[in-house]
Amino acid sequence: MLYLADVSHDASTQRLHLRLIAQQRSEHSWQVIEEPESLVFDQSEAPSITGLALVELSNNNETFELQNASPWILDIVRNFLSTGVTADFLQQEAERAEQWRQALTLQSQELGRRTLELEARMGQIQELEEKIKQDGDKDCG
């Protein structure tokens, strides 16, 4: 699993501290960890990376691989912020998408209601047809 973490090394205890800040959900989707989790590893030598790093953790959190997060963060800045995509813009788009989702949900519910009404009317028509047919058979017989 890939995380964005704050990495520090305590030389006196020879321990590496990883404070997990965000977790990757999919290729372009990350979720901030509301209560950052801290992991501690015994490591005699200081890591080549401290500060923000991308951390690939094994499933059991026993092994990890560090990668400098600076190029990744700069890529985000270059791709999004320089093109006018701001936090406000993203918030507005999220609100717009939520309003659209709600409108589609209402439309779907309305279509479901209309379908039920049509099915009920078709049932009534079929009952009337059967009744007319039975009445017609009685008159002929």
**How much is the pLDDT for 57?**
87
**How much is the pLDDT for 141?**
61
**How much is the pLDDT for 46?**
61
Note the pLDDT tens digit of each residue in 3-48.
999 988 888 888 888 899 999 999 888 999 999 888 888 876 667 7
**How much is the pLDDT for 15?**
84
**How much is the pLDDT for 110?**
97
Note the pLDDT tens digit of each residue in 76-86.
888 877 777 77
User: Cβ of 108: how many Cβ atoms within 10 Å?
Assistant: 10
Cα 101 to Cα 107: distance, rounded to the nearest angstrom: 10
Paired residues of 55 in beta bridges? 3, 66
Total-model pTM: 0.58
Q: Does 103 score more than 90 pLDDT? A: yes
**How much is the pLDDT for 113?**
96
Domain ranges in the chain are 2-84, 86-141
Note the pLDDT tens digit of each residue in 114-125.
999 999 999 999
**How much is the pLDDT for 87?**
78
31: its two tokens = 């979720």
